[in-house]
Each structure stands twice: as structure tokens, then as C-alpha cells.
Amino acid sequence: MQHLDARVLEQALAWLDSGETVWLCTVLATFGSSPRAPGSIMVARADGRHLGSLSGGCVEEDFLARLGCGEFSQRVCVERYGEQSQEPGDGNRSRVHLPCGGILQVLIERLEPGDCNRQHLAELLAVLRGQAQKIRRVSLGEGHSELLPAGNCGGDRVEVTEEDVHIRVGPALRLIIAGLSSVTRACAEFAVPLGYEVIVCEPREAEYRDFNMPGVRLEKAFPALFIAGSGNCHQQTAVVAMTHDPRIDDLAMMEAVKTEAFYIGVMGSRRTSDKRAARLLSAGGLTAEEVEKIHMPIGLALGSKTPAEIALAVMADILRVQRGIERDAL
């Protein structure tokens, strides 16, 4: 399945190439309940054609109606939806009331046909199809935009200052699970609605024979071999091992630490984890720094017992690292 953001940028480029001016809209912040997360994008033309979304539909309808009336002629602006203006005639705040009761802050960029805008969107599309994250900086004064190196793999997706906006962009989130188990299934069921591309690596035919998990990709391969494959692990990848079989789990960890995966973890008790760490240092040939990259025992300490509880603890810990939050800050 093609990443929606990539499809939006492909359409924006096609419209620019045909001589159309486009408006690129990005969700900057949400307050309260909101159906779309910061960083979500939509592209539109003056005639109302659009791709992508910002909310459940009410924000898009208001924006497209006002766009058709000639609004948003400036190079860049920030619009706030779901909040009633306190000042008569205040045109900077929409009168749209979101059914969910939330508030949405949206960056709106007017992009005319031309080499500069086309090159920037093409570079942005390449980032989404690549292996590393970037920071997209948009000046709120001049509307100038550029791509900058991302300092780390975690943190807020969007940061807004008085002068500019920084949006963290990169390949779609990916979760690689080594081996099928009851925890694997529960973990995948949590990960799919969280927006992860979920890949289960299972070489044992007896385990995958009755595999049926909508939205989850099955690789009938040894996890370590798949993890080591070119392009399979990037900066937006989490790798977890769930089998209790050292022949699968240990080898998966040995390959995962060599990649740019932002989260690497393996299931097991504290005692099992200590034994695994010793094996990886001796027989596995890993350094102490490489072993330190591995979350073991995996997940947050929630007192989990059942497969679903363990999976919840694992995905919560992955989300914590993805957001750049230290354990002691919880």
C-alpha cells in the first residue's frame, strides 16, 4: 500500500507540471480530540480538486469553499479551525466548529508552477521514499522552504516558532516482528491502526500455514536475513523478537543492531535477558554498546501477563522512543 503522504506529493507535482497553482496544507497542531495527527497533509487546486485530508471532512469543506472564493492568495499563512473568534471581522480564525470538539492549526502554502517549488516537492517525495528522516523548515514570513538534516530519530513531528515551522518527515513507520507467536498477533493488531507498516518474518511453515492477519505482510524468511536486506530497516523502523527461540531471536538482534532502526527489543524475563546479553557478547560477537541498544526485557514495566498486555507494553514503549521521551519522564 502506497504511503498517503507520497501520493499527495505525487499529485501536487503532477498539477505543478500541468501549470496549476496548488495549495499544500499541513496540520501543525491539534488540541483536544482530532481525527488527524500533526504532519498530516492535503493538496488542493483552486477548482476544488484535492487529495489527502486534514480532518473528518468539515475542515476540508470550509477550506475548499473559501479557496474557491479567492481566499488564501498569500504565499503562506496559518489557519486555526474549531475555535470561535472573539473579535468581529477577525479573518484569521475559522468559524468552523469541529464535531469532535477539537481545535486544528493548519499551515497553508500557495505554490505556483516553477522549478523551485517543483524541486522542493520532488526532494520531499524522495525523503518519504528513502531511508532517513529530514526536517522541513518553512518560513512563516517569506514562505521559503528547505530540507535540513534531522538531528535525531525521535521528538515531536512538528515544532512551531514565531519565525518558522519545523516538520519532521521521513519514510513511513515500519514494525518488523521476528517470529509468529500469540504476542506477535496482538502486537500487530495494535500496530496497524497506529499507522505502522507491519512485517512478520516467519520461516517455519507450521507457524505461518494458517496465517491470516489483514494489513500485515508475511515474509516467509528467516528474520535475520530479512533484517539484513538492503532497505528493509530504516530510521523509522522498530524491530522486535517474540518467539523465545534463541535461534530466531538472538540472530535477529545481532542483525538489527547494525541497522538504523530506532527501536530494537526482544521478549523475555530479566533472567532470560541477562543470559541473552551474555550470549550476544560472547558467541554473538556484539560490543557492549551494541547490546545496550537492545530493549530487554522489552516494553514498559506494566506488570503485563497476557499476550495482549505484553503487546500493549511493547507498543507503548515503541511509541515512547518514537516521541523522544525518556523513561524517567513518564
* Residues 252-303 pLDDT 10s: 999 999 999 999 999 999 999 999 999 999 988 999 999 999 999 999 999 9
Whether the model clears a pTM of 0.75, i.e. scores above it, the answer is no
Where would I find the beta strands (DSSP E) of the chain?
Answer: 22-31, 41-44, 50-52, 76-81, 103-111, 134-139, 145-149, 158-160, 164-169, 174-178, 197-201, 216-219, 237-241, 263-266, 294-295
Q: pLDDT at residue 95 above 60?
A: no
Q: pLDDT at residue 319 above 50?
A: yes
- Domains recognised in the chain with CATH numbers: 4-169 (no CATH), 174-329 (3.40.50.720)
As a whole number of Å, the CA-based R_g of the chain is 22
